Structure 1
Amino acid sequence: MNYHKDGTPYWIDISISPVFEQGEVSKFIAVERDITERKHLELALAQDKAAAISHGQQTENLLYLSNHLIERKCADVLEKNDSDDVNQRVVNGCHLVRAINNHTKQLSKDGISSELPSKRVLDESLRALVQHISWLATNDGFAFDHVNQSDTSELVISSDFDALTCVVFNIVLLATLQNRPEAITLESRCDIGGDELKLAFELVIDDEGHTAQFIQGLQSASNIDQSTLHQSASFAYSRAVHLLRERNGYEVWNISEGKSRFNVSQTVAVIENLRATDDNTFRVLIAEDNKVNTIVLTKLMKSLGYESIDTVINGEEALESAKSGYYDLILMDNHMPKMSGLEATKHLKQEHHIESAIIACTADTTEEATQAFLAYGACEVIYKPIKKEQLSAAIQRSLNKDKTEKAS
């Protein structure tokens, strides 16, 4: 490592090769390369790794405490008891409360916040809900589709919204436990009025109506034979519904065409509308599975003045992120796991008709890939390794093209 005159460090890589003349070394050739940018990337990766390890250790502590201090207490409370054992159930409940309090104190001692934040970015909460249901769909083998009818990006709302997403998720969980559904569709929409927002979900479960019948039995206090897992999910659902109703929300269900249909909605306070307070915010989504490439693209974009940047690591995440939140520009890699950038571009432009400008940033220099990207709706295709000037010019051309198309 060396230092410039102003004190900033820089790194030089020196390679020395011998030159032979008549079988003997006559001289050496030294080549110097500035590897400062690579070193910065390595340091950033090392910091990310250290943070991940630290987070992993904290997570292990959480899991240990949850498993050994709380799980057994929950089992005691949820365990079937005769009516004569009401007092024992109360005692078990007190033990559970004590265990949770001890757990909370330990978290505070370890510097981990156990309090729910007072506000949520709506788009992030929706994305988390969709990801959790997608995980269930993958593991249980049913089809899942999410349709977001509204632009939920840049809205910061009160955390009371958690009760609503909890109800939706537990309905899906009960559906998978009760009878594996063929398919589940989730449609979300929101209406803003002043400083309030009404968020509504319509959940359609292709299960011959079993989930709706089961929940009707729960709410009518029917004596349904349930496993411990059923009991846990039922308890979580009932508690979430109770909280939802306390917070100006409601849920209704019916059975039609052999499907369980749920409508769940809630009115929450809008704490801040970032889009309204900053009309000049330019949002960028980077879809790239290579960590180093993501860092490089992020640094390049920030050097060009773009600060609001989100990143995803595959085409599926790019599709969900772009559907649930507005982006002015998407930088799309091609070869990614789960779904390629080419497929994601096709879905976004030809099926969902998003307005975001898409620039393909790929190492695939084949004419076939280039023409496919352009045919599916990408504005530009640029090739790796990407230079700052190359990226800047592509962005300007894409935005100018996008404005021209909208005007026409």
Structure 2
Amino acid sequence: MSATATAFAAPVPPSTALSKLRILDLTRVRAGPTCCRIFADFGADVIKIEAPDGVDPNETMSGARDGYDMLNLHRNKRSLTLNLKRKEGLELFLKLVETADVVVENYRPDVKSRLGIDYEALKARNPRIILASISGFGQDGPYVGRAGFDQIAQGMGGLMWLTGLPGQGPVRAGVATADSTAGLYAATGILVALRERDTSGEGQWVQTSLLQAQIALCDFQAARYLVDGVVPEQAGNDHPYSTPMGVVETADGFINLAVGGDGQWRDLCRAIQRSDLVDHPDYATQPERLAHRAEVWALLTPIFASDTSANWLQRLEEVGVPAGPIYRMDEVFEDEQVRHLGIARTVPHPRLGEVTLVGQPIGLSRTPAAVVSPLSDKGADGADILAEIGLDAARIADLKAGGVL
């Protein structure tokens, strides 16, 4: 660690919540790393297993190792290089499986079988092992051979025709919704499997996909079609059925206004000093406001344009109408509530100095998550990890010289 790093405050102690778990992380890009990061932040021994340099033709897909994305996704993990295409590398991996609780992978579905690390192979070495597989479209079916990426899943899962202004054409979300959600669902499945293993003593195969996760994330919009047969359309910044709920321009910017019920409509009328609108037959009830949505916004637009965002937010808060600012990312982390929540977590890095990352959005009263270390250099922890399964320094050196590590 550099002199700069050692000058920082004492490191945060790791979480002990999942300290008895060992996770073998074969993942890359985003969905799988998102899953494994949860376990790492809550204290599990997560071993990030990567191919040695030059073995994986797509090794640069995840970006620079010291880049913001890799640092944020892979903190708190130990790093080991293994060439799983070599017999010795595969055997070392299976030896690690004997000591592990969970293996997480997001290869294309057929890769596991070709490498010899499918669920049946892992189960033969450790009946308690849980394999979590994240794919683009599922582990079987007509699309099983397709490559899956977040934006493809956003399109196929319905999100892109829900996002954007009416008539605009499909619009992707500004973040990787399918990837991140698939990672979260995989972590949920793993936790369920771990709890069930306490009863049965057996592991199992947990599966999710970007496509499933994206559809599930659409939630009420998907249910709207399945239950009522309604195909939701793009609504821009308007809520599908509550009005006025959306973005409104002020004298110096924009705010979100969220009037969800008739009582809040009355409170809004008080805030804008328009008591005549309270019982107006076209606006007094939610169904009527929805039917006259364009008129409602036409009434409100010039009113909100007459004062600043800060003044409107204060007035709306005073009467209990939900509203909020619309921040750029720099403003997000300057907000006093965001600072109070402490979701930005700082960790020392040996080359970059102090690095601030996005913490877990989950609070536990006794064993909270912690960001304690940055992403290790590739393979930096290999000697320690392999020593834990009985390899001595000479054997490790031979394997490294032979291209296995």
Q: TM-score range by the shorter chain?
A: under 0.3
Could you say which structure has the larger radius of gyration?
1
Q: Greater helix percent: which structure?
A: 1
Give the TM-score, by structure 1 length.
0.23
TM-score (normalised: structure 2):
0.23
Higher strand share: 1
Higher relative contact order (CA 8 A, sep 6+): 2
